[in-house]
Amino acid sequence: MKITPNYTVIYNDDDIIVLNKRSGLLVAQDRYDPDAPRLDSEAEKEFGRLYAVHRIDKDTSGCVIYAKNADSHRALSIQFENRTVEKIYHCLVNGRPLWQTKTVDSKLLPDGDFRHRTTINSRFGKTSITDFKLIGICGPYSWLEARPKTGRTHQIRAHLQSIGLSIVCDPLYSGNQKPVRLSDIKKRWNGDTETERPLLSRLALHAYSLSLEHPKTGERMTFTAPYQKDMEATRKQLASIFGVDPFNQK
């Protein structure tokens, strides 16, 4: 069985590097588990010192950018602070939203409970905004596009939970941990359910693209991270069965 690499390179120059990280890998050191595997530590073995300018969740796959020097780090950090970076995520959720687009602006408090989850807190929470778009319904699932305008920890997951939705296989914000299996979505499936391997058994959230200005040239650049093997297999099967594909949006 082929092992999923920790990362693949989307873009690399003297000032920045953009990586497509696998699910299950931290972007930078975590205060709760300082010895957990990290993307920056792995990539620094190949590319030298890297400067983190943003984070995505450990269980989220997809686009991560690092600066390669102090000047680039400063310039990129300002863009993230000023919210001029456009971030697009794709996620597969359980159920069917009753809307086509929705903006959620509930204030969020990171580390708000004993499980270190982000919680809704109108008094102590920080301003948080996420724009959601329904891409399409696939039987028991729906594909969503999420555009977070702020960068709170677990923002997309917490905002979805606040409106009664959960991402497939979310270990923190969903009571439904059931993986995606072909036998559950394909009417004529003749395999053995005892030996069937799930199509997807991890958090179905992917940082699909980043759009920002290059820290040295000022050129507006957009970087796109292809789905990992498990999420891509799920996309293909759902597209074949239900005719809904996140890559063919109108």
Q: Which residues are catalytic?
A: 57
Distances (CA, A) of 177 to 6, 170, 226: 24, 7, 24
User: Bridge partners of 8?
Assistant: 20
What is the spatial distance between Cα 120 and Cα 113, in angstroms, rounded to a whole number? 11
